[in-house]
Amino acid sequence: MHTVLINAYESVLRTVCIGTDFLSVSQLKRNTRPLQLIFAIFICDSHFYISFTSPPLPTPGFLLKAFFLSLASPTRVYTLDNDVLTTEQRQFYEENGYLIIKKLVSDEDIERFRKEFVRICNKEVNPLGAMIMKDEMLRSQSVLPEKVVNKVQDFQEDEELFRYCTLPQVLKYVECFTGPNIMAMHTMLINKLPDSDKQTFRHPMHQDLHYFPFRPADRIVCSWTAMERTDRNNGCLAVLPGTHKESLKPHGYPEWEGIVNKLFHGILDYDENSPRVHVIMEKGDTVFFHPLLIHGSGVNKTSGFRKSISCHFASSECYYIDVKNTVQEDLEKETVEIARRKFNASSLDLKVRL
C-alpha cells in the first residue's frame, strides 16, 4: 500500500517540485510517512505548496487538478537528486538544458591538456583509436601541425587527455545528470583555428543526440570546458535555451558555400532567426548540457586558437538502439562508409561490443 501510494503521487510530486521549490522526491520519501505524503500537498491560488507540519486534507478539486496537471506537463526530470546542485542551478538546467560551473578545471590541468594536444599534433604520441582531424582548407599547406589540426576525437587511450574524464570535480556534476554509474562515451579536444576566410570551422546548429545511437537521452550529458576565454570573437558556443525539451530533428550537411568539415551536420530546417544565447566563458569554466539542446559555434575571428576539451558521459543503464527507419539512419550509413574507406574494407559489419 505504502509503495502504491507513493508511486501514484510521485508524478504529481515531480510536477510540484519542478514548478515551485525543488524539494526532491527522494527527500519527500525519506522524510514522510505515506499518508502524510498524500496530505502534504495542497493547492492555493493555483500555486502548489508542500507542508509537513500540519497537513491539510486534499480537496477533490485539488486531486482532480493535480491529476490533469500531471498529464499536461509530462514528468520529464533532467536532473537527479543528489544534493550537489543548488535549487537555482537545478531549476536552470531543467528550464534551459545547460548549466555553467565557473572555474571548475584548474589552469594546471588545462596546461597539461594543451601540452598533450601539441604532442599529438607533432606525432610525439599516437594514442590508439584517436581521430586527428585536419582543417579541410589547410590540409595542403606547409604550416605547423597545431595550426592545421582542428580536432582530436576519441582520446580515451591517451592517459593524459583522458584524465579530464576522471576529474572528481567534473564527475561530481556529471552524476547529477547521469546518476552514479557513469560511462565516458565520446571525447573531443577542439582547436578552433583562426578563420581561414572559408569559415570551415563554423559549427552548424545541431543536437548531439544525432550522433548517439543510445538512450535515454536524459541520462546523457556533455561536459565542455573552455581552455581559454571564449566569446563571440573566437567562436564561443551558442545555444537555444529550452530546446532540450524538443525531439531529435533531421540533420544533414548545411547548405553553406565552400567546404564543410566531415560529419559537421546541422539541423536541416534550422531557422537562422531563432533566438540564441552566446555562452561566454572564462578559462576553466565548464558547461554541462543536454544532448538534445540545439547548439553550435561561430568562426574564430582572432589570430589565436580557441581550444576546448569535452566528454559526453552517459549512465551505464543506457542501451543501444537500432536507428533503422529513424532520423539517425543516414548518419549510420555515412559512418559505415567513412570507416569502410578508412580500413579499406569492401563491406563492414558494425557490431556493438558490450
Ligand X SMILES: O=C(O)CCC(=O)C(=O)O
Near ligand X by CB under 6 A, which window of 41-49, 172-180, 294-302, 333-341?
A: 294-302
Near ligand X by CB under 6 A, which window of 92-100, 159-167, 293-301, 330-338?
A: 293-301
Give strand pairing partners of 43: 48
Q: How far is the CB of 95 from ligand X (least distance, A)?
A: 21
Distance between CA atoms of residues 31 and 129, nearest Å: 49
Of 89 and 308, which CB lies nearer to ligand X in the complex structure?
308
Q: Of the candidates 225, 308, 315, 328, which one interacts with ligand X according to CB under 6 A?
A: 308
Q: How far is CA 109 from CA 91, 122, 127, 323, in A?
A: 30, 20, 19, 38
Q: Of the candidates 15, 191, 297, 315, which one interacts with ligand X according to CB under 6 A?
A: 297
User: Which residue lies nearest ligand X, judged by its C-beta?
Assistant: 297
Residues 309-328: x where in contact with ligand X by CB under 6 A, - otherwise, as a string? -x------------------
Near ligand X by CB under 6 A, which window of 60-68, 129-137, 161-169, 291-299?
A: 291-299
Of 40 and 204, which CB lies nearer to ligand X in the complex structure?
204
Q: Which three cell numbers stand for residue 146?
A: 597545431
Q: Which three cell numbers stand for residue 159?
A: 592517459
Side-chain half-sphere of 194: how many Cα atoms within 13 Å? 5
Q: Which three cell numbers stand for residue 67?
A: 491529476
Rule CB under 6 A: which of 178-237 touch ligand X?
A: 190, 192, 203, 208, 224, 237
Side-chain half-sphere of 314: how many Cα atoms within 13 Å? 18
- With b for 16 or more beta-carbon neighbours within 10 A and e for fewer, the 131-154 pattern comes to ebbbbbbbeeeeeeebbbbbbbeb
Q: Is 295 in the site for ligand X (CB under 6 A)?
A: yes
Q: Which three cell numbers stand for residue 121?
A: 599534433
> Binding residues for ligand X, per CB under 6 A?
190, 192, 203, 208, 224, 237, 295-297, 308, 310
